[in-house]
Structure 1
Amino acid sequence: MLSKDDHASAQNHARVPIAAAIIALAAGGFGIGTTEFAIMGLLQNVAEGLQISIPQSGQLISAYALGVVVGAPVLAALGARLPHKHMALGLMALFTVGNLSSVLAPDFGSMLATRFISGLPHGAYFGVAAVIAASLVAPSKRPRAVAAVMLGLAVANVVGVPLVTWLGQNYGWRLMFVAVGVIGAITLLLIQRFVPFRPAHAEASMRRELRALKRIQVWLALLIGVVGFGGFFAVYSYISPTMTDVAGLPESALPLVVGLYGLGMVAGNILGGRLAERSVMGSIYQVMTAIVCVLAIFWVVADFAVLAVAMVFLIGVAGSSLIPGLQTRLMDASPDAQTLAASLNHSALNMANALGAFLGGAVISAGWGYKAPALVGAGLAVLGLAVAVISGLLERKAKAPARSGTDAALPDRKVPGSR
């Protein structure tokens, strides 16, 4: 049975601006991006507060990432029968409770648990938010709508992360979770007010969603994210020591570097959405090629401070430009299981984070220096581009018999000038 609010939302859909609904969904992305990245700047404060080592506090980041990887497919499948609006509300409620529970976590073990719980709705929320946003606009505008939802994540790196990091450093690190909890609560109100209600598909089911896992194009798209985006993370994971030890910047300049990276993400998200509107696969080819070039150039110019800083901005642009096209590609590859497919994108990106950080750290530990991850990243991006090309070729091959069959069924037509 629909609630009174849901009836009103459905009846007033025509009067609710699409922009308001997308901003409401993007607000959730803003909160998710803030909690995911702000803790990286507060690791020392967390370690002191919980009386653990900094490497131990780093496990809180891993616990969140593990929650994303596990939660995306599980929650997307379990919520298959729910109307998308209700699913978005439920996931944001879980996110809010998970972050607020971190405020009260008394020790390291309980903090690990709350961070894992906070990560569970991350991927599934972005998945269902992307599906909702795409359903509100014309088919040709879907990539831009998806990019607008993802813009919340990018803006978090420019506004939310610096602000909450400052708040945690000056007034106590647990306030970070209070702030994120407030953002989550505001998002719940915005979604309830502005996102229109639509009943779940009559044939929606967990089995229907799991069909996405049977499609080779879904797995290839995920592999593009894991390998190709892994190249991006190989560099960004070690950007601080690279900029100080290689480029020679003082530590005081690092906030500027991180801010430029965040601005690059915002610009890249917008650019990626517009490129994908022209051609989804074309945008993936273009962006993967750009990532290869940007990372290779960064390896060359990392010794020069001004050029290195400029390349950090371009790294943010190139990396973020991939997300809208990849998100849309996954939805296209599984049209009858879009929520699960779109959710898996964020599992893939968190696996890319782990892969890139591991390989980048491996070459640094081998004594190759802080510039080496850029070459590793460029190599991973080349592999990601190769996977994208294979995906495109397989798709064209699959469509060829259908086109041939259609052509064969048409009556013979005389070519002008023939007898």
Structure 2
Amino acid sequence: MSNSLKILLLAIVTFFVGTSEYVIAGFLDIIAKDTGISIASAGQLISIFSLSYAIGTPILVALTARMDRRTLLIASLVTFVIGNAMVIFLPGYLPLLLSRVVLALSAGIFLTVAITMATKLAKPEKIGSAISTVVMGFSTSFVIGIPLGRLVAANMNWKLNFAALGILGFAAVFILMAAIPRTEGETPIPLVKQLAFLKNPKILMALVVIFFWILGYSIAFTYITPFLLNVANMSTSTISMALFLFGFASMIGAKIGGSATDKWGVRKTLLSGLIIHAISLALLALSAHSIVAVLLVLVLWSLSLWSSGPTQQVNLVSQAPEASSIMISLYSSTQQLSMAIGAGLGGIMLKNMPISSVVWFGALGVAIAAILAIRVIRPVVKVSN
């Protein structure tokens, strides 16, 4: 098997792992009904995943840095299979929460190691392409995983999603054992050294912008299914189509963001994306009476949301190019922490406010990110000869 196929294989398995995080957003209402809990409590299943990912992944990466990469990759997949089995066989809300912790830790380790393995398998001039291929597997779970998961949950049983992921993960263990070569571990980067970069004001403020950007997104998207069901009055089939459109637009948005950053720079691209993002969330609340309008706004939301991803990473890495891996690690941890807090805040809002409030507060979070970006990301001044 060529190295290109091995990288593609890592991307496919990464899709399974990514789906375990995102798929649950498509059927929170069904889980709430099946387990006898509120939608707000069901939303905490997303919050606990993100929080576990944000806190646990850097620690586990540091502790396992010297391990053989293939061994660690397989171990994370075995843990992934166990986490899915817990969802299927252990009844009740608390075991479901625990399974989300297990799945989060396995996902964090797998994605980190998969990206590392891809860089070692790729030619030096193809490293960037190899990384984007693996990451695309994670983001593709938005396109296929969420809408497909909704269809399965609505027409059969929501636990079948995790049964399928567990079976696919189990098969992937043996495929990766045969396909991926053994690779030595690396010198661990102490957590203290990683956190030391937060003393840099530019890096800290870049992370604060990322935090509010994802916070606004998470408050709204975590509860998008109840919003579409109860506010926009969509049917289950229409919701699946809406989630598919959102996921498909995410891929286009990421491509637009990367190209625009190269052409127009970080400031123009990021500010444009954040402003349109905030406006689209406000329009989502205002257009809920029209299904066609909601579908159009969802596409606009996804395009603007995902256009900011590559730009945020470029901005952060540019602050410390000599430590790009640490910057990406800080980016991922900030993103997941913000998602956890956003899901939690959204749940609190649902207990005291109408469902549409999560969309308005989501717009507020993104607007704060835009205001901060205007202040902290200064325009590049070109000095002529």
What are the equivalent positions in structure 2 for 1:257-406 lying under 5 Å apart?
257-276=242-261, 281-282=266-267, 283-327=269-313, 330=316, 333=319, 339=325, 341-359=327-345, 371-389=356-374, 392-393=377-378
**360 and 42 in structure 1: CA distance in 2 versus 1, 3 angstrom threshold:** closer
Structure 1 residue 16 and structure 2 residue 3: aligned?
A: yes
Equivalent in 123, 138, 146 of residue 161 of structure 1: 146
Alpha-carbon contact 1:64-1:119 (below 8 Å) kept: yes
CA distance in 2, matches of 1:151, 1:104: 31
Structure 1 length-normalised TM: 0.73
Structure 2 length-normalised TM: 0.78
CA distance in 1, matches of 2:61, 2:264: 27
Equivalent in 118, 123, 126 of residue 111 of structure 2: 126
Alpha-carbon contact 1:232-1:315 (below 8 Å) kept: no
CA distance in 2, matches of 1:169, 1:125: 30
Supply the AA of the counterpart residue of 1:211. K
Alpha-carbon contact 1:269-1:323 (below 8 Å) kept: yes
Q: Which residue of 2 aligns with 1:211?
A: 193
CA distance in 1, matches of 2:207, 2:218: 16
CA distance in 2, matches of 1:274, 1:97: 40
C-alpha root-mean-square deviation of aligned residues, in Å? 4.0
CA distance in 2, matches of 1:138, 1:290: 37
Q: Unpaired segments of 5 or more residues in structure 2?
A: none
Equivalent in 83, 87, 95 of residue 98 of structure 1: 83
C-alpha displacement of 1:189: 4.8
Alpha-carbon contact 2:46-2:340 (below 8 Å) kept: no
Alpha-carbon contact 2:146-2:244 (below 8 Å) kept: no
C-alpha displacement of 1:178: 2.1
CA distance in 1, matches of 2:345, 2:301: 18
Count residues with an aligned counterpart: 378
Alpha-carbon contact 2:148-2:240 (below 8 Å) kept: no
Partner-residue secondary structure (3-state), 2:66: coil
**41 and 134 in structure 1: CA distance in 2 versus 1, 3 angstrom threshold:** same
- Comparing 229-238 with 129-138, greater Cα deviation is found at 129-138
Supply the AA of the counterpart residue of 2:37. S
Q: Which residue of 1 aligns with 2:51?
A: 66
CA distance in 2, matches of 1:280, 1:93: 42
Q: Percent identity?
A: 23
Alpha-carbon contact 2:22-2:145 (below 8 Å) kept: no
Partner-residue secondary structure (3-state), 2:332: helix
**267 and 334 in structure 1: CA distance in 2 versus 1, 3 angstrom threshold:** same
**305 and 175 in structure 1: CA distance in 2 versus 1, 3 angstrom threshold:** closer
**Deviation readout 1:16-43 (Å, 9 max, x if unpaired):** 22xx344223223311232223334555
Supply the AA of the counterpart residue of 2:193. R
CA distance in 2, matches of 1:33, 1:83: 23
**197 and 320 in structure 1: CA distance in 2 versus 1, 3 angstrom threshold:** farther
- Comparing 68-77 with 331-340, greater Cα deviation is found at 331-340
**Deviation readout 1:338-366 (Å, 9 max, x if unpaired):** 55543443332233334434555666666
C-alpha displacement of 1:261: 1.2
CA distance in 1, matches of 2:46, 2:235: 26
C-alpha displacement of 1:180: 1.1
**334 and 264 in structure 1: CA distance in 2 versus 1, 3 angstrom threshold:** same
Alpha-carbon contact 2:49-2:340 (below 8 Å) kept: no
Equivalent in 224, 231, 254 of residue 209 of structure 2: 224
Question: Based on CA coordinates, which of the two structures has the bigger radius of gyration?
Answer: 1
